[in-house]
A = this chain, B = another copy of it.
Amino acid sequence: MNDTTPPRAARRKAATHTIHDVAALAGVSSITVSRYFNSPEKVSAAVRERLREIVERIGYVPSQVAGGLASGRGRVVCAVMQNIASATFADLVKGMTDELQASGLQLLLANAQYSQALEENAIRTFVGWHPRALILTRDDHSPAAEAMLAALDIPVVEAWGYVEERPFHQVGFPHAQTGAELARHFLEQGATRVRFVLPQISEDFRASQRAQGYADAMRAAGLAADVQRADVDDDFEAGARTIAALAGCAREDRPQAIIFANDNMAAGAILHAPDCGLQLPRDCALAGFGDAPISVRLKPALTTLRPARYEIGQMAARTVLRMLAATADGQADTEPMLCRERLPCELIVRDSSRLWLG
């Protein structure tokens, strides 16, 4: 009477089919079923057909969770966005998912709202998922985050911006340079007084980077930089107020051109200008950033910068895939080559930026 412990209560009745169910039905071992999914060519055609039928019939789907644990390589890529609800990041996300999906990789998203602390939290959470790669959308992380990234040993892509010296893959464009480009666009037309207007709550450090680029370009031309910050939260309202304030200024004191940190502010200005008795671009030239769909429809049509949002997301994903393929090819010892993909942010010149020098 071997009084071994009574059979423990079954932990859980598998509410779902397992690889073993399929194996039993097909009269093969479970490893064969595993092979059927991961390298079908190693399974005989006969067995393959039998399995296909059974899998279809009972609706078996392999567990990503169990597979990820067993193989040590889950099918997950994590990305930390700065503002999930913005058009910019929505396009990035679409580019990434479109590209990753084809490779059977699942994108896990987090939202950091332009906060380093939230980004750090998100990264910490993601570490628990053992992602194959990480996509970030800023280049200045908290020290703790940098430490985690250094310890991670997976591809890390910094997308949206582009910085030469970073130790991670870069996919995007240099924001400061685009700010400078807009400044030069006006300087070349002979402007001497150009203003840059930031949103009130500019958590978006990219906008500040563009402002910085503008300021440098102005100083390089021997002119004063004039960066202002909006005093209302709503971007459209901020633009409207900016233009309204102009109406109260003598022409000699007004900026000849204004660069808004985004198209919404510029649109607010353009739509409100007639109410202030101002005619654009005669009374003030304008430019924005982002190429919102409406910008080309405004009167005057808005000069702006068009970042390749979707393409940046797509390329970030491709970079991930390339790095994964590389490490899979046993290039373990190869030096960890860094991808630097510089994507376009095109200057779209329209009527709003034509300078009228009085």
Contact = CB atoms under 8 A, between A and B. Distances in A.
A16 B94 CA distance: 31
Contacts of A90: 84-87, 89-90
Interface stretch (A26-34, A122-130, A162-170): A122-130
A110 interface: yes
Contacts of A97: 84, 109-111
A311 interface: no
Contacts of A268: 297
Interface in A147-187: 147-148, 151, 153
Interface stretch (A55-63, A247-255, A341-349): A55-63
A71 to B, nearest CB: 9
Contacts of A234: 293
6 contacts: A63-B130, A65-B65, A90-B90, A107-B109, A264-B294, A272-B297
A130 B16 contact: yes
Contacts of A59: 147-148, 151
A222 to B, nearest CB: 37
A37 to B, nearest CB: 10
A129 B65 contact: yes
A85 B94 contact: yes
Contacts of A11: 72
Among A64, A109, A298, find the residue whose CB has the most chain B CB atoms closer than 10 A.
Answer: A64
Nearest to A267: B294
A135 B125 CA distance: 22
B124 A61 contact: yes
Nearest to A310: B85
A50 interface: no
Contacts of A191: none
